[in-house]
Amino acid sequence: MTDIHQLGDKELLDRNTANSLDAQDPLSKFRQEFAIPTRGDVAGDKPIVEKETDLEEPCTYLCGNSLGLMPKQTPILVNQEFDAWSRRGVEGHRNHPYNRPWVTVDEQVKEHLANLVGAKPVEVTAMNTLTSNLHSMMTTFFRPTKDRFKIMIEAKAFPSDHYAVSSHLESRGLDPATALITIAPRAGELNLRTQDILDTIEGDKSIALVMLSGVQYYTGQFFDIPKITKFGQEKGCIVGWDLAHAVGNVPLKLHEWQVDFACWCSYKYLNSGAGGIAGLFIHEKYAKDTSRPRLAGWWGNEKENRFDMSPEFRPSEGASGYQQSNPNVLATIALLSSLQIYEQAGGIEALRIKSLKLTGYLEKLLHLVLDAHFKADHIRILTPADPEQRGCQLSLEFPERMMDVFDGLHAYGVICDERKPTVIRLAPVPLYNSFADVYRAVMCLAKVMDQVYSS
């Protein structure tokens, strides 16, 4: 594929360049595997179009970091589960017409998830939701003592993480005002420095658990997971990660990096549908460790004797031993349908190659097309410029009139998301977004900003 860094400004600004890049893209065929809403479906009551037929065109969907698009095979697989239910009833647990018995349905996604996060199958499972999994992991791995009783997160962590950690500390009889440590970028800077994270861990011997985001939801910064994990553990901390914005977005090697635990949702880059089943990683070194407390449930019991109905809990080995209720079959199969496409596309490594090019193209076009607005301080990019420190998301800050810009993009059928008070996030997802999508989004943004800031 053409190297965008070798293209001149005139070539970058030519729509034919976007079309040419798409024609060279070996992953472009996977776009047709997803259902893309039309502009008429999403543009609201006052769409901006040149002709009525524009409403029938696919929208420009750059919101996979919030909710991924639906794979076209998802309703096929999910309807098979309805068919199994209607034809077999309870017998579907073991006698399944499509060879996906419900009694082991979670095993359908184990190997796929392991491949995505750089783990062994024993280290991963699909269960619950992200926040409930975080609570579960804090129950197991946060063991406060008189000397070590603090949890460290980002000051700008996703609100749910703040809620989870604060409420968990309170449940242990600890005051978040003293037991919750938050870390923010230096004054005048946009992103956290790895060294500042390490210095905070080094400087506070009372930190028991470091729990950061793999990719920061607001800025899009990709943290140095292996370095932070190794340092935190050397200083006596457990190190866990919220990978909601990292899984399916950036390469991960959780086993190799010796991460203690990690949790993630699956409805963003993993395209499992709104509220889809979440994921869990627990390192193999804890696979047979029954000394730590856990929130146990019957699905975490050994599958060989799960239906013996014994009151004695005998946990399955590894992450599966932390399951509680039986997993939602429909949600698990919806996840499976997307994970199969990841495998067909060559896994996260192949997608990362495209992602770097797609996001780099977005960044270059933004600077070229919106140069005057950057100079006027109408817009700035919060996400690190170093491609190794970000995924596919670019967070754009609009110090003034962000919602006017957001509404304008929506009217053009450019679907992104806003994070108040001032940020719009654009995320070109390599599985289904194209270079033409990126080109159109930037050109629409230029029109909107000219309209907003000239009024």
Radius of gyration of the chain (CA): 23
Q: State the SS3 of the chain.
A: CCCHHHCCHHHHCCHHHHHHHHHHCCCHHHHHHEECCEHHHHCCCCCCCCCHHHHHCECEECECCCCCCEECCHHHHHHHHHHHHHHHHHHHHCCCCCCCCHHHCCHHHHHHHHHHHCCCHHHEEECCCHHHHHHHHHHHHCCCCCCCCEEEEECCCCHHHHHHHHHHHHHCCCCHHHHEEEECCCCCCCCCCHHHHHHHHHHCCCEEEEEEECECCCCCEECCHHHHHHHHHHCCCEEEEECCCCCCCCCCCCCCCCCCEEEECCCCCCCCCCCCCCEEEECHHHCCCCCCCCCCCHHHECCCCHHHCCCCCCECCHHHHHCCCCCCHHHHHHHHHHHHHHHHCCHHHHHHHHHHHHHHHHHHHHHHHCHHHHHCCCCEECCCCCHHHECCCEEEECCCCHHHHHHHHHHCCEECEEECCCEEEEECCCCCCCHHHHHHHHHHHHHHHHHHHHC
pLDDT tens by residue, 113-159: 999 999 999 999 999 999 999 999 999 999 999 999 999 999 999 99
- Tokens 């990362």 identify what position? 352
CATH class, 78-343 region: alpha beta
pLDDT on residue 436: 98
Does residue 1 have a pLDDT over 80? no
pLDDT of residue 440: 98
Residues of 432-450 as b/e, b for ≥16 C-beta within 10 angstroms? bbbbbbbbbbbbbbbebbe
Q: 78-343: same fold as 4-65+347-454? A: no
pLDDT at 45: 81
Per-residue confidence (pLDDT) for residue 169, from 0 to 100: 98
The two structure tokens encoding residue 338: 């997307």
Identify residue 148 by its one-letter amino acid code.
R
pLDDT greater at residue 307 or residue 209: 209
Q: Does pLDDT of 46 surpass 90?
A: no
Q: What is the mean pLDDT of residues 326-342?
A: 98
Which pLDDT does position 344 carry in this prediction? 98
Structure tokens belonging to residue 301: 């019991």
pLDDT of residue 363: 98
Instruction: Tell me the mean pLDDT in the region 331-358.
Output: 98
Assess contact for 392 and 355: CB atoms under 8 A: yes
Q: How many CB atoms lie within 10 A of CB 354?
A: 25
Is CATH 3.90.1150.10 the classification given to domain 4-65+347-454?
A: yes
The answer, yes or no, to whether residue 242 has pLDDT greater than 90, is yes
Domain limits of the chain? Answer: 4-65+347-454, 78-343
pTM, entire model: 0.97
Range name among 9-23, 44-58, 94-108, 110-124 with the lowest pLDDT average: 44-58
